[in-house]
Amino acid sequence: MSMPDLAAILWRQRELLEKLVYRLECEQLLLAAGRSRFLATATGEVEALLEELQVVEMQRASAADAVARELDLEPGATLEELAGTAQPPWTEVLLEHRQALLTVTGELSALAETNKHLMAAGLKAVEQTLAGLGLRHGTASLGYDAHGRSEMISAPGNAVVDRSL
């Protein structure tokens, strides 16, 4: 692999990371709006991108190791180390990729943290709602027996709400 191959892989990695930022922002909007209908779809898209990124990361590592050998560096050299040894214009190209990757990684960390907090808040709201309905494990609530009479129903396990009536 050559320097142009590494640069092409870095561009692909950056594109996928930008898509991941977009997908996480979409997921965040769904969470913030309390719209859970498409949350599983959004999460699935994020997971698919992460799988694709794993493949590209392996390609990048392989290409970077090959370039490192060409530059008489040890395999596993950082982009900064590769850029320090590379000839122009590759020095600037690698440094630009490095900076862009650092920036998008920071964005991703912030988005992931915010989404984590939104999911935790949503889970807490659901748990509070279920507790208020008496639908939590080991609780009792007002219900109806087989004859239609009102009675307290103990819920030793999971409870199911029949909304078809």
54 or 123, which is more confident?
A: 54
The set of residues, in sequence order, having a beta carbon less than 8 Å from that of 23 and lying 6+ positions away, is: 42, 45, 46, 49
Q: Once rounded to an integer, what is the mean pLDDT over residues 6-15?
A: 98
The set of residues, in sequence order, having a beta carbon less than 8 Å from that of 139 and lying 6+ positions away, is: 131, 155
Local confidence band at 135 (pLDDT 50, 70, 90 cut-offs): low
Local confidence band at 72 (pLDDT 50, 70, 90 cut-offs): very high
Q: Could you read off the pLDDT of 77-108 as tens digits, one per residue? A: 999 999 999 999 999 999 999 999 999 999 99
Sign of the CA dihedral 68, 72, 75, 79?
negative
Local confidence band at 128 (pLDDT 50, 70, 90 cut-offs): confident
* 8 A C-beta contact, residue 49 and residue 19: yes
d(CA 111, CA 141): 39
